[in-house]
Structure 1
Amino acid sequence: MKRIILLAAACAIAVPAFAQNVATVNGKAISQKSLDQFVKLLVSQGATDSPQLREQVKQEMINRQVFVQAAEKAGIAKQDDVQTELELARQGILVRALMADYLQKHKVTDQQIQTEYNKVKQEQAGKLEYKVRHILVADEKTANDLLAQIKGNKAKFEDLAKKNSKDPGSADKGGELGWAPATNYVPPFAQAVTSLKKGDVSDKPVQTQYGWHIIQVEDTRPVEFPPLDQVRPQLEEMLRQQTLADYQKSLRDQAKIQ
């Protein structure tokens, strides 16, 4: 009777321990804790915790264990190139975790975001954006011929753009490119735009890597800077990246490298 009681007690102790494992593969246990951590990682990347996800994770972990055991049995882990990949993977994981930990401990503040917003807004003060039309053709002669028609009032800019422009995005709209700062364009085009006044057409064709352009500035207006709430995510991410860059530089500067 005493032996039966002891056996029953041993089973009672063993059941909770066994219940902590979701599966065993050739005697190798896959713990509930490992599964929970895998699920937590997937949830942090956008997945939704559910019985279906947990079953998928369980099967994935079983498959991995089967394959890993086969690789170890075959001596794959001892191969030089595999050892190198394993070490690089370990380093990559540690570096990502280090950066995530640093950002968690050095979060971007509302004051930093406001200060950066004010700075960028001040930099944009006084800058203009332009409402531009253009006609794009393949050669300079064609461009000069079209420009002569425009200057001589023999044809409208919009009509010539629809008929001759090689830019599929604007030709049907009479060459209209809409409102944009000059920095949106390649340098030769941007330089021509900023040199023109409202209503002006370029005195000569402008060459870029796309061909030859006849440019007209229809109108100008001050750049309207977006409100803080609209650009907050971009500013926060920019400051996060700057925080990481400064941290990485400090680590490098403090390291003894010979």
Structure 2
Amino acid sequence: MKMEIKMKMRMELKKIALAAMLASPAALVAQTEAPEHDIDIDMELNKPVMTVNGESMTVGHLLAYRMTRQGMPLPPDPMQAQDVLVNELFSSMLLAQEAEKLGLDKETQVIARIEVARQQTLRQAALDELIRKHEVSEEDLKVAYDEQHGATEKNEYKTRHILVEEEEAAKQIIKDLDNGKDFAELAISKSTGPSGPNGGDLGWVETARVVKPFGDALTKMEQGKHSSAPVMTEFGWHVILLEEKKTTKIEPPALESVRVELTEALKIEAVRKYLENLQNTAELSFPEGSGVQDSK
């Protein structure tokens, strides 16, 4: 009987040429990612695919099932890919029908899992629809572009430092420097940092790539001068020498080259704000004794 059902099912599927119509990005409008296995589709989603023990499955069901297995490869041959999907869905339907016969669909935990799956499906559909419908204006795009790529210059600092554990030791080093001692020699003899043996040389650095107090101190220093007071960071106390400063022009990417990326980011941000508004206006309560605290 199973073989007969399988043969009839295959004949029907081949008859409607479903193998060439599975999982096209154009058909999966609600999906944010195109599936790996790309097959054209122009069939209505409610077109029947198969009937198992009186229960009908449509192209829409098959596509929905196909999306649950994203990341799992399908055979490159369309007919083989079709067979894999149909056989898996056939087995899934049989097991689901058996579960209903056993009354498992009435169990509290199963009902809860079905409801959560329903909510997750609706959640994704809502997110996809909100992203699809949100229009990003050229003005918004330009503002986002300027915010991310508007800085056309960067400052770099050629610097040395001496790192010690105690503030008093750092103050004494500054006195020694004021009295004419060589910075590199003091770094070799006094610094506990890894750059000490190299005379404290850090090369060219950007403020974004060093800890904030160190970077802040660099921006206020004069070229050729050492810091007049020790700088404290999480690593200890620093005496800094700014040897040289240079400003480099940055060529920003063309707007068109980042248009898609910025548009998607703006859409996602709009959805985030929309969801935040829903959360702020929702009526939320927790039954007494539930063990869940209201953190809204």
SS of aligned partner of 2:216: helix
- The structure-2 alpha-carbon separation of the partners of 1:33 and 1:252, relative to structure 1 and needing over 3 Å to count, comes to closer
1:80 equivalent in alignment to 2:114: no
Question: Residue 215 of structure 1 is aligned with which of 231, 240, 247?
Answer: 240
Under a length normalisation based on structure 2, what TM-score does the superposition of the two structures give? 0.55
The 5 A counterparts of 1:61-76 are 61=89, 64-65=92-93, 68=96, 76=104
Tell me how far 1:101 sits from its aligned partner: 0.6
Question: Residue 227 of structure 2 is aligned with which of 202, 206, 209?
Answer: 202
- CA distance, structure 2, for counterparts of residue 150 and residue 56 of structure 1: 77
1:236 equivalent in alignment to 2:263: yes
* Matching residue of 1:16: 12
SS of aligned partner of 1:244: helix
1:50 equivalent in alignment to 2:46: no
- CA distance, structure 2, for counterparts of residue 89 and residue 157 of structure 1: 68
1:193 equivalent in alignment to 2:218: yes
SS of aligned partner of 1:245: helix
1:110-150 deviation per Cα after TM superposition (whole angstroms, max 9, x unaligned):
4431233245666x47x753325454746126655666666
* Matching residue of 2:61: 34
* Matching residue of 2:125: 97
Matched positions, count: 241
The 5 A counterparts of 1:118-197 are 118=146, 124=151, 129-133=155-159, 135=161, 137=163, 139-140=165-166, 143=170, 152-156=180-184, 160=188, 164-166=192-194, 175-176=201-202, 178-180=204-206, 182-197=207-222
- CA distance, structure 1, for counterparts of residue 63 and residue 254 of structure 2: 39
1:247 equivalent in alignment to 2:274: yes
Equivalent residue letter for 1:16: E
Which runs of 5 or more structure 1 residues have no equivalent in the other structure?
1-11
- CA distance, structure 2, for counterparts of residue 58 and residue 253 of structure 1: 44
Tell me how far 1:37 sits from its aligned partner: 4.1
Equivalent residue letter for 2:275: Q
* Matching residue of 1:3: none
Equivalent residue letter for 1:97: A
- The structure-2 alpha-carbon separation of the partners of 1:215 and 1:97, relative to structure 1 and needing over 3 Å to count, comes to farther
1:226 equivalent in alignment to 2:248: no
Q: Percent identity?
A: 22
- The structure-2 alpha-carbon separation of the partners of 1:57 and 1:220, relative to structure 1 and needing over 3 Å to count, comes to farther
CA contact (8 A) 1:143 1:212 kept: yes
CA contact (8 A) 1:39 1:54 kept: no
Give the structure with the higher percent helix: 1
